[in-house]
Amino acid sequence: MLIALVIGTTVSTIKDETLTGRKLLILRPADEDGVPYGKPYVAVDTLDAGIGDLVLTAHGSGGRQTT
């Protein structure tokens, strides 16, 4: 799991039907003080986070099981 900062949103014109109606966020990894580092990545939002929020992200099989 990683702490990440929400830096934006994106849209997809074609996506898996299990993701229909779900918001896609652009995130950057962040340290424990909320300072971003590293490259941005896209994640599915299941809790209605907004730009500027710190979120906890799950990767791998744990992340796939939550969607």
| Predicted local distance difference test score (pLDDT) of residue 2 | 92
pLDDT band at 67 (very low <50, low <70, confident <90, very high): low
Q: How many domains are contained in the chain?
A: 1
34: domain range?
Answer: 2-66
CATH number, residue 44: 2.40.50.220
- Tens of pLDDT along 12-64? 888 888 888 899 999 999 999 999 999 999 999 989 999 999 999 988 765 55
Instruction: Provide the pLDDT for residue 19.
Output: 86
For residue 66, the model assigns a pLDDT of: 58
**Which two three-digit tokens encode residue 3?**
């702490």
Number of helices (H) and strands (E) in the chain: give both, helices first. 1, 4
